Structure 1
Protein backbone atom coordinates (compact mmCIF):
# COMPACT_ATOMS: atom_id res chain seq x y z
CA UNK A 1 0.00 0.00 0.00
CA UNK A 2 1.51 3.32 -0.97
CA UNK A 3 1.35 6.59 0.96
CA UNK A 4 -1.31 8.18 -1.30
CA UNK A 5 -3.80 5.33 -0.74
CA UNK A 6 -3.23 5.29 3.01
CA UNK A 7 -3.53 9.09 3.12
CA UNK A 8 -6.88 8.95 1.31
CA UNK A 9 -8.08 6.22 3.62
CA UNK A 10 -7.10 8.18 6.67
CA UNK A 11 -8.68 11.35 5.28
CA UNK A 12 -11.92 9.46 4.71
CA UNK A 13 -11.71 8.06 8.22
CA UNK A 14 -11.04 11.51 9.64
CA UNK A 15 -14.04 12.93 7.75
CA UNK A 16 -16.30 10.10 8.96
CA UNK A 17 -15.09 10.49 12.52
CA UNK A 18 -15.55 14.25 12.39
CA UNK A 19 -19.09 13.93 10.99
CA UNK A 20 -20.01 11.48 13.75
CA UNK A 21 -18.15 12.90 16.75
CA UNK A 22 -17.29 16.43 15.62
CA UNK A 23 -19.96 18.24 17.64
CA UNK A 24 -21.27 17.85 21.14
CA UNK A 25 -24.88 16.75 21.52
CA UNK A 26 -27.52 19.31 22.38
CA UNK A 27 -27.82 19.93 26.12
CA UNK A 28 -30.75 18.26 27.87
CA UNK A 29 -32.86 20.36 30.23
CA UNK A 30 -33.32 19.09 33.78
CA UNK A 31 -37.10 19.18 33.30
CA UNK A 32 -36.75 16.69 30.46
CA UNK A 33 -34.69 14.27 32.58
CA UNK A 34 -37.29 13.84 35.32
CA UNK A 35 -40.53 11.94 34.98
CA UNK A 36 -43.11 12.60 37.66
CA UNK A 37 -45.72 9.97 38.36
CA UNK A 38 -47.92 9.48 41.41
CA UNK A 39 -46.69 6.70 43.71
CA UNK A 40 -50.18 5.26 44.06
CA UNK A 41 -53.50 5.71 42.36
CA UNK A 42 -56.08 8.11 43.77
CA UNK A 43 -58.25 6.51 46.47
CA UNK A 44 -61.49 8.47 47.04
CA UNK A 45 -62.20 6.60 50.30
CA UNK A 46 -58.97 7.89 51.75
CA UNK A 47 -60.00 11.54 51.43
CA UNK A 48 -63.68 10.95 52.24
CA UNK A 49 -63.02 10.97 56.01
CA UNK A 50 -64.46 13.95 57.81
CA UNK A 51 -62.36 14.86 60.85
CA UNK A 52 -65.27 16.43 62.69
CA UNK A 53 -67.59 13.46 62.25
CA UNK A 54 -66.41 11.81 65.47
CA UNK A 55 -67.64 14.88 67.38
CA UNK A 56 -71.15 14.36 66.08
CA UNK A 57 -71.13 10.60 66.69
CA UNK A 58 -69.64 10.47 70.17
CA UNK A 59 -70.24 13.85 71.78
CA UNK A 60 -73.84 14.63 70.85
Structure 2
Protein backbone atom coordinates (compact mmCIF):
# COMPACT_ATOMS: atom_id res chain seq x y z
CA UNK A 1 0.00 0.00 0.00
CA UNK A 2 1.36 3.43 -0.96
CA UNK A 3 1.42 6.24 1.65
CA UNK A 4 -1.17 8.28 -0.27
CA UNK A 5 -3.61 5.38 -0.13
CA UNK A 6 -3.16 4.90 3.62
CA UNK A 7 -5.06 8.11 4.33
CA UNK A 8 -4.59 11.84 4.29
CA UNK A 9 -3.05 11.90 7.79
CA UNK A 10 -0.44 9.29 6.88
CA UNK A 11 0.40 11.06 3.61
CA UNK A 12 0.72 14.37 5.43
CA UNK A 13 3.03 12.82 8.02
CA UNK A 14 5.24 11.28 5.31
CA UNK A 15 5.34 14.60 3.44
CA UNK A 16 6.21 16.53 6.61
CA UNK A 17 8.97 14.06 7.49
CA UNK A 18 10.51 14.45 4.06
CA UNK A 19 9.97 18.16 3.35
CA UNK A 20 9.09 19.56 6.79
CA UNK A 21 12.23 21.61 7.45
CA UNK A 22 14.66 23.61 5.40
CA UNK A 23 18.28 22.54 5.03
CA UNK A 24 20.85 24.21 7.25
CA UNK A 25 21.88 27.71 6.21
CA UNK A 26 25.24 28.08 4.43
CA UNK A 27 27.13 31.32 4.94
CA UNK A 28 28.29 33.12 1.77
CA UNK A 29 31.91 32.95 3.03
CA UNK A 30 31.67 29.16 3.02
CA UNK A 31 30.47 29.03 -0.61
CA UNK A 32 33.68 30.42 -2.13
CA UNK A 33 37.11 28.86 -2.04
CA UNK A 34 40.01 31.17 -2.82
CA UNK A 35 43.23 29.84 -4.26
CA UNK A 36 46.23 31.63 -5.71
CA UNK A 37 46.44 31.04 -9.46
CA UNK A 38 50.24 31.27 -9.54
CA UNK A 39 53.03 31.34 -7.03
CA UNK A 40 53.96 34.96 -6.21
CA UNK A 41 57.28 36.02 -7.77
CA UNK A 42 59.08 38.53 -5.51
CA UNK A 43 61.51 39.51 -8.29
CA UNK A 44 58.62 40.64 -10.49
CA UNK A 45 57.45 43.31 -8.09
CA UNK A 46 60.85 44.82 -7.31
CA UNK A 47 61.15 48.50 -8.18
CA UNK A 48 64.06 49.56 -10.38
CA UNK A 49 64.62 53.32 -10.38
CA UNK A 50 66.63 53.13 -13.63
CA UNK A 51 63.98 51.20 -15.55
CA UNK A 52 62.63 54.34 -17.21
CA UNK A 53 66.14 55.03 -18.54
CA UNK A 54 66.41 51.54 -20.03
CA UNK A 55 62.96 51.72 -21.64
CA UNK A 56 62.96 55.28 -22.99
CA UNK A 57 66.58 56.23 -23.68
CA UNK A 58 67.20 53.59 -26.34
TM-score relative to the length of structure 1: 0.51
The match for 1:24 among 22, 25, 42 is 22
Match of 1:43 in 2: 41
Structure 1 residue ranges (4+ consecutive) displaced by more than 3 angstroms after TM superposition: none
Q: Unmatched 5+ residue regions in structure 2? A: none
Q: Unmatched 5+ residue regions in structure 1? A: none
Please state how far the C-alpha of 1:31 moved relative to its aligned partner. 0.3
- Give the superposed CA RMSD: 3.1
Bigger Rg, which one: 1
Task: Count residues in correspondence.
Answer: 49
Higher helix fraction (1 or 2): 1
